[in-house]
Amino acid sequence: MRKIWDIHGGIHPPENKTQSLQDNIRAAGIPAQLIVPLSQHIGAPAAPIVNVGDRVLKGQMIGEAKGFVSAPVHAPSSGTVAAIEPRVIPHPSGMSAPCVVINCDGKDEWISHQGISDYRSLDKNTLVDTIRNAGIAGMGGAGFPSSVKLSGGKDKPIETLILNGTECEPYITADDILMQERAAEIIAGAEILRHIVEPNETLIGVEDNKPEALAAMRAAAEGTGIEVVSFPTKYPSGGEKQLIQILTGKEVPSGGLPADIGIVCQNIGSARAIYRAVCHGEPLISRVTTVTGEACSTPRNYDVLIGTPVQYLLDLSHFDASRCIRLIMGGPMMGYTLQDTAVPIVKTSNCVLAPTVEELPPPPPAQACIRCGMCAEACPVSLLPQQMYWFSRAQEHDKLEEHNLADCIECGACSYVCPSNIPLVQYYRASKAEIRQAQQDKIKAERSKERFEARQARIEREAAEKEAKRKARLEAAKAKQQSATKDGSKDDIIQAAIARSKAKKSGGADNPPQDPAQAAIARAQAARSGDAVSETAEEKTARLEKQLASTEKRLAAAQQKLQLAIDNNDDNVEAFRSGVEKTEGKLQALRKELDAHRASQAPAPAESVSDDPAAAAIARAQAKRAGGAETESPDAARERLTTQIASTEKRLDAAQQKHADAQAQGDVNAAAFATAVEKTQAKLDKLRAELAALPAAEPEPAAEASNADDPAAQAIARALAARNANAELSEADKARNAVSSLEKRIAKTQQKLDQAQADGDDNAAILSDTLAKLQGKLDEARQALDALSQEEG
Amino acid sequence: MIELITQHPFAAALLALVSLGLVFGALLGFASVKFKTEGDPIADQVEALLPQTQCGQCGYPGCRPYAEAIANGDDINKCPPGGEATIAALADLLGVEAKPLDAAEEAVPSVAYIREDECIGCTKCIQACPVDAILGAAKHMHTVIASECTGCDLCVEPCPVDCIEMRPIETTLQTWHWDKPQPTEDLIASDRRGNSPIEAA
């Protein structure tokens, strides 16, 4: 005789098992419609693999497992898929979940299937896969996929395999009758499990209130080495962890699994389903379910197809709805009320209980806890239900966790013994959910915080980048201005201006766009000053040529119009004609002027190089100054210089030739030509030097570019530089600088504000705020400046 | 040494006390440098209790600023998304009296929903979202990443076409849980003698 351990606490409620044991298991038959939920197990719901309208055969897979902890579902009978839609499922919430609805054709036509004759020759993984594909999930109540239990715990050898035939809840006899009638199948299933798990010992635990089942099991297990252990009846010995403790004396650690202590536990119903799956190739499509309670006149056990509506079973048992107080799925201790009789039987449905009022009266109102401590005595997990009750009421989740609420198996023994009828289990269930919710909220809060901080960081970074860019622009503009005022000697500007004008003449459209604009400004300035001398000879030629060309075009257009008008006998012919004449006159005048200009230029070509350009350059320099700080990128500068060099080279050649000619002819101007050649040569040298200097200046902008991805660092560097520069200034200077910069900022902000107001922008308010703040700062700065200048004065 | 103490007990005592004072003073000074805490640990703890919806209903621009304000003595009852549970936790942490929530009612957990066919793609809600949970581009329809939405409803107001609404989070089979039993009056035996439970309490 094997040693039996005892568990703490436990209760002995009225068993009420005999009612449903009067008769054998009866096949429930095929209902008109089967509702097969896609999630009948713990884990991810199965994914439907059939479509509405498809014909399915009995045993055909209709939903495939999604993920490791999941199980497939199969068609329990042949028929047509009528719908794949949410239907009310057996769940305490009474909510709906996706189901495959099959209209049965009554033929009950099997899909071709074949069992494995010699499973012992097969690999364990293949067997586990077979079990997984058969959709077997724990049939005791929780519905944990059996294959997961069997494939896990490879790191630790399994010492003991336990089959759970305890069935401790009152009323339920599904396992009892299964053991009585199909003991051989259960033992065969146990053999398969032994082959997979390879335990040292295999135990089948059965309470001593099932003598017939015990006898049948012992007979079937004869000579197999499987030990059928009987032990005193007590609720809740059927809990997995409780049964392990009773049979082995070992306790599953808090938060652990039986595999952690080398034990695998399976329900006897699951063992039988495994036998059917392995040896007959039949997936889990039916189960034994007890229909009992006094509201049913013929309580009994049925072999039910999964998906059969509860109403169908109740009809078979002659259910009297008027006598039933509430319909319970499961037992009276751990079951839940069904709101709807259309819900289907699923893989975990072991009992449908239809009690009368006398049988299971509604709980009387709860009274105050009198701290009698009976709940603590009844608790099979040795918790302190009374303490947890108070903590649950006060929402003290930390304390609940400290009191190991998570280990509560929700058996209901505490509520059962409570003299004050406090629904203790409900408190624990709710608190467990609250704690889980709080944990999820915490995770979500963490993520929200991360996202919020990431966003803040991004906004700051963008602002810093913008600021850095703005600073860079400002810096560049300042540098440009300084270089313009420092080494922008008149001579240089003159040379540059001449070169540009030359380049423009030769290059045409290739010229940088700012050049024509500058030239235009210069011209305008020149025109304003009314000084004819300020126009260079070349420019004049160019202008005249341009005018000539455009006038010619206009003339052509006018002539065409005139011709058209004549052809159409238009009234405006006269007007057109006079227009053409006028244009012709203008054209002639222009030609004359151009000729005269060319003639005037011819005698003194050297002067045109040296004297006239000076005047033009003055004009251009003025124009440039008026045009403000104009930044020039190094590339543009290089391009400009190259064109300048090219044109200067050309001019040098021309001048040299002229000089040679003059010398050959013994011209009086030969000396002048010589100086011109010299000057041009010098200029060319200078330009080349400038060009050579450019790449040397390059590294700075390059470095800047490489720094571009770290604008913040750049900004910091610049700020440091600014601070260093400031340190050299006197207090008063600093104040002055501050005032001027503030004034600038105010002006800018004012402009922006005007713009924003004009556009009706949302930012107007912010801008006006900013303006007010700046004004305040300016006032402060001015006061500081006044104070300082008084000190100095 | 003993001679000195016996001859000048006063001076010896003074010397002992001064030297003790110096030693401990140095120790404290060293400790204050060595174990200096960065930031505000109270604000960090407070922040950990706040729901991080970043909704600004407390009057501060986000949960961190409110946590800092609480650490500096602001009221703990300004967080509607946190509700009574948060107030209780804060009161517990700070050792102050729990106050009733400074709002009409606790915020129901909800999620923003953009009616996508009405969205004009103005991106204003994207700019308003404190956790970047709205996806979209200018002149393209926007949508809410429901799993990241904190339900702060900051995006509702800026929408020029009012196409954003807050929808309470629906209970699913996964999120459903047992409710707590209705707290009945705690009856005791004397209640049966005609005394109403309220008076008895």
Mutate to test the interface with A, among B52, B150, B172 (most CBs of A within 10 A): B52
Mutate to test the interface with A, among B174, B177, B185, B191 (most CBs of A within 10 A): B177
Between A262-276, A348-362, A728-742, B78-92, the lowest mean confidence (pLDDT) is in: A728-742
Q: Do the beta carbons of residue A261 and residue A241 sit within 8 Å? A: no
Cβ separation of A452 and B188 shorter than 8 Å? no
- For residue B51, the SS3 value is coil
Cβ separation of A451 and B132 shorter than 8 Å? yes
The share of chain A scoring above pLDDT 70, in percent, equals 82
How close B128 comes to chain A (CA, Å)? 11
Chain B partners of A449 at a C-beta cutoff of 8 Å?
47, 52, 63
Average pLDDT of A71-91?
93
How close B49 comes to chain A (CA, Å)? 9
**Per the omega criterion (within 30 degrees of 0), is the bond before A355 cis?**
no
Chain A partners of B159 at a C-beta cutoff of 8 Å?
none
Chain A partners of B88 at a C-beta cutoff of 8 Å?
395
Looking at residue B190, what is its pLDDT? 62
CA distance A8 to A398: 25
CA distance A160 to A240: 13
Residue of B nearest to A392 (CA): B180
Give me A30's structure tokens.
């095929």
- Phi, psi dihedral angles at A263 (to 5 degrees): -135, 140
Cβ separation of B177 and A436 shorter than 8 Å? yes
- Whether chain A has a CB inside 8 Å of the CB on B20: the answer is no
List helix spans (H) across A530-633: 537-567, 573-601, 605-627
Cβ separation of A367 and B186 shorter than 8 Å? yes
Cβ separation of A430 and B178 shorter than 8 Å? yes
Cβ separation of A429 and B186 shorter than 8 Å? no
Chain B partners of A92 at a C-beta cutoff of 8 Å?
176, 178
Between A229-243, A467-481, A726-740, the lowest mean confidence (pLDDT) is in: A726-740
Look at residue A613 and tell me whether its pLDDT is greater than 70. no
Q: Do the beta carbons of residue A518 and residue A630 sit within 8 Å? A: no
Give me A704's structure tokens.
């800047």
Between A5-9, A382-386, A536-540, B132-136, the lowest mean confidence (pLDDT) is in: A536-540
Average pLDDT of B31-51?
85
CA distance A773 to A780: 11
CB contacts < 8 A (A, B) = 84
How close A167 comes to chain B (CA, Å)? 25
Residue of B nearest to A458 (CA): B132
- The partner residue sitting opposite B188, judged by closest CB among A368, A395, A438, is A368
Q: Do the beta carbons of residue A62 and residue A74 sit within 8 Å? A: yes
Cβ separation of B177 and A97 shorter than 8 Å? no
Average pLDDT of A725-740?
69
Q: Do the beta carbons of residue A735 and residue A784 sit within 8 Å? A: yes
Cβ separation of B132 and A426 shorter than 8 Å? no
pLDDT tens by residue, A130-158: 999 999 998 877 788 888 888 765 667 88
Q: How confident is the model at residue A468 (pLDDT cuts 50, 70, 90)?
A: very high
Between A595-599, B15-19, B137-141, the lowest mean confidence (pLDDT) is in: A595-599
E-assigned strand segments in B121-184: 134-135, 143-144, 164-168
Cβ separation of A448 and B50 shorter than 8 Å? no
Average pLDDT of A701-713?
47
* Alpha carbon separation from A211 to A15, A104, A232, A302, A612 (Å, rounded): 14, 39, 12, 21, 130
Residue of A nearest to B185 (CA): A367
How close A762 comes to chain B (CA, Å)? 11
Cβ separation of A449 and B183 shorter than 8 Å? no
- For residue A413, the SS3 value is helix
How close A506 comes to chain B (CA, Å)? 47
Give B143's DSSP letter: E
**Terminal Cα distance for chain A, rounded:** 115
How close A216 comes to chain B (CA, Å)? 40
- Phi, psi dihedral angles at A530 (to 5 degrees): 70, 15
The share of chain A scoring above pLDDT 90, in percent, equals 42
- Whether chain A has a CB inside 8 Å of the CB on B85: the answer is yes
Q: How confident is the model at residue A708 (pLDDT cuts 50, 70, 90)?
A: very low
Cβ separation of A449 and B52 shorter than 8 Å? yes
Q: Nearest Cα to A118, choosing from A220, A185, A200, A192?
A: A192
Cβ separation of A451 and B133 shorter than 8 Å? yes
- Whether chain A has a CB inside 8 Å of the CB on B130: the answer is yes
* Alpha carbon separation from A485 to A490, A491, A613, A628 (Å, rounded): 10, 13, 21, 12
Which one of A173-182, A573-582, A636-645, A723-732 scores highest in mean pLDDT?
Answer: A173-182
Cβ separation of B177 and A95 shorter than 8 Å? no
Looking at residue A655, what is its pLDDT? 78
Cα-Cα-Cα-Cα torsion A411, A412, A414, A418, nearest 10 degrees, comes to -170
Average pLDDT of A604-632?
51
- Whether chain A has a CB inside 8 Å of the CB on B192: the answer is no
- Whether chain A has a CB inside 8 Å of the CB on B80: the answer is no
Average pLDDT of B161-183?
86
Cβ separation of A393 and B131 shorter than 8 Å? no
Higher pLDDT, B198 or A418: A418
Residue of A nearest to B50 (CA): A445
Give me B45's structure tokens.
């703890």
Going by C-beta distance under 8 Å and a sequence separation of 6 or more, which residues neighbour residue A322?
none
**Which ipTM score applies to this complex?**
0.76
Buried b (16+ CB within 10 A) or exposed e, A351-389: bbbbbbeebbeeeeebbebeeeebbbbbbbbebbbbbbb
Between A182-191, A487-496, A633-642, the lowest mean confidence (pLDDT) is in: A487-496
Chain B partners of A436 at a C-beta cutoff of 8 Å?
177
Cβ separation of B53 and A448 shorter than 8 Å? yes
pLDDT tens by residue, A115-130: 888 888 888 888 999 9
Chain A partners of B176 at a C-beta cutoff of 8 Å?
91-93, 95
Cβ separation of A97 and B88 shorter than 8 Å? no
Decide: pTM greater than 0.90: no
Mutate to test the interface with B, among A334, A405, A444 (most CBs of B within 10 A): A444
Residue of B nearest to A427 (CA): B180
* Alpha carbon separation from A193 to A143, A151, A202, A272 (Å, rounded): 18, 11, 9, 10
Residue of B nearest to A450 (CA): B131
DSSP string covering A655-677: HHHHHHHHHHHT-TTHHHHHHHH
Cβ separation of B181 and A430 shorter than 8 Å? yes
Q: How confident is the model at residue B78 (pLDDT cuts 50, 70, 90)?
A: confident
Cβ separation of B180 and A426 shorter than 8 Å? yes
CA distance A773 to A778: 9
CA gyration radius, chain A: 51
Give me A536's structure tokens.
């260079």
Q: How confident is the model at residue A608 (pLDDT cuts 50, 70, 90)?
A: very low
* Alpha carbon separation from B121 to A756, B111, B141 (Å, rounded): 22, 20, 5
Residue of B nearest to A449 (CA): B52
Cβ separation of B187 and A452 shorter than 8 Å? no
Cβ separation of B51 and A445 shorter than 8 Å? yes
Q: How confident is the model at residue A332 (pLDDT cuts 50, 70, 90)?
A: very high
Looking at residue A374, what is its pLDDT? 94
* Alpha carbon separation from B40 to A234, B44, B94 (Å, rounded): 56, 6, 14
- Whether chain A has a CB inside 8 Å of the CB on B173: the answer is yes
Cβ separation of A426 and B85 shorter than 8 Å? no
Cβ separation of B178 and A92 shorter than 8 Å? yes
- The partner residue sitting opposite A448, judged by closest CB among B150, B187, B188, is B150
| Structural domains of chain B ordered from first start | 41-94 (1.10.15.40), 108-170 (3.30.70.20)
- The partner residue sitting opposite A455, judged by closest CB among B53, B130, B176, is B130
